[in-house]
Amino acid sequence: MAPLVSVRNLSFRYSGASALALSAVNFEIESGEFVLLTGPSGSGKSTLLRAMNGLVPHFYGGDFSGEVRVGGVNTENSEVSKLAEISGLVFSDPESQLVSLDVESDVAFGPQNLGLEKCEILNRVNESISQVGIENLRHKPPHELSGGEQQKAAVASILSIRPKILVLDEPAANLDPLSAASLMELLGELNSKGTTVLIAEHRTTLVAPYASRVLAMDSGRLLASGTPREVFTSGVLNNLGIEIPAFYAIAQELTHRGLALDGARNIQDLLKVVEGRKRKND
Ligand SMILES: Nc1ncnc2c1ncn2[C@@H]1O[C@H](COP(=O)(O)OP(=O)(O)OP(=O)(O)O)[C@@H](O)[C@H]1O
Ligand SMILES: [Mg+2]
């Protein structure tokens, strides 16, 4: 079966810019993956996400080469409105995505635009609100919600379109640590029930526990693709200004010192390895 996302030799230069924002990027995403896209500021994360639903090159003009296919559709030959049904984008600023008088209307907005029957719209609204667990917010005006609640409502308003992939651009950027963690937990849950997730985030510690794969970028190039363990312990990201989650930083150091980590999955496991070594030496 063809991958859900296929990016082939993608390069992009914004109109008037001298440097490439994306340079010969290649990767694929299969259905069911949870992909963390990370990299320093200006490395091209948002540009790459914009290419997932055709905003690049249809809305942001420039020199585009290579090929992006999402759900089998070549984005260059498709309209942004059609691509929005395949690739649903959530931004950092939820207020820009919530435009109605109450949450329910915002969640109904996408299905209404698709021209669906009333009962199907209601089905989708009920389903999305329940998936995201915001029944209590259903009749509230978006401006009365906290940032974390708004972002969950924004996720519900995208899920109701039933996109093939949920794409999020630093969705926790404006959230406090607790709301950010709660949003990530929600994304992890949605993924475990089948939603494919692609999320750009530089706070890797926040997202890594949920990610099945990490894509790391620098200066428009894709530097690494692999499991969080592979990417964060490879050393490729050192000194780039990319946050290495503490667990992997310590694991990398212990491996350097010749300690076998035997499938350690968290900091507690690492402590056991160190304590075992200490006992041996005592
Ligand atoms: N609308 C635009 N017009 C011209 N250049 C742009 C535009 N948006 C981004 N760029 C440039 O493209 C490059 C990649 O930017 P992009 O926003 O994709 O990076 P990013 O990894 O998302 O950064 P951040 O972590 O700060 O969000 C940068 O050099 C940036 O200045
Ligand atoms: Mg960005």
DSSP 196-249: EEEEE-S-HHHHGGG-SEEEEEETTEEEEEE-HHHHHHSSTTTTTTPPPPHHHH
Q: Is the pLDDT of residue 281 over 80?
A: no
Nearest CA to ligand 1 atom 18: 44
Are residues 76 and 12 in contact, defined by beta-carbon separation less than 8 angstroms? Answer: no
Instruction: Pick the ligand that lies closest to the CA of residue 169.
Output: 2
Q: Over the stretch 169-212, which tens digit does the pLDDT of each residue have?
A: 999 999 999 999 999 999 999 999 999 999 999 999 999 999 99
Are residues 266 and 245 in contact, defined by beta-carbon separation less than 8 angstroms? Answer: no
Q: Is the pLDDT of residue 261 over 90?
A: no
Instruction: Pick the ligand that lies closest to the CA of residue 43.
Output: 1
The one-letter amino acid at 249: A
Give the ligand 1 atom nearest the CA of 217: 21
Q: Over the stretch 107-141, which tens digit does the pLDDT of each residue have?
A: 999 999 999 999 999 999 999 999 999 999 999 99
Q: How far is the CA of 219 from the centre of ligand 1 (A)?
A: 10
Q: Is the pLDDT of residue 260 over 80?
A: no
Nearest CA to ligand 1 atom 8: 47
For ligand 1, residues with CB inside 6 Å are 14, 17, 21, 39, 41-47, 60, 202
Band (pLDDT 50/70/90 cuts) for residue 265 is confident
Per-residue pLDDT, averaged over 87-99, amounts to 91
Average model confidence (pLDDT) across the chain = 94
CA distance 214 to 135: 32
Which of the listed residues 36, 46, 215 should we mutate to test ligand 1's pocket, taking the one with most ligand atoms within 8 A of CB? 46
Question: Which residue ranges form the domains of the chain, and what is each CATH number?
Answer: 5-225 (3.40.50.300)
Q: Which tokens belong to 163?
A: 């996109």
User: Which of 9-13, 17-21, 183-187, 248-252 shows the lowest mean pLDDT across its residues?
Assistant: 248-252
Nearest CA to ligand 1 atom 9: 47
Q: Which of 156, 161, 215 is nearest to 183 (CA)?
A: 156
Residue found under tokens 């379109």 = 161
DSSP 8-state assignment for residue 72: T
pLDDT at res. 263: 76
Instruction: Pick the ligand that lies closest to the CA of residue 45.
Output: 1
pLDDT at res. 94: 85
In terms of residues, how long is the chain?
Answer: 282
Q: How far is the CA of 82 from the centre of ligand 1 (A)?
A: 24
Residue found under tokens 């984005």 = 75
Which of the listed residues 43, 63, 174, 198 should we mutate to test ligand 1's pocket, taking the one with most ligand atoms within 8 A of CB? 43
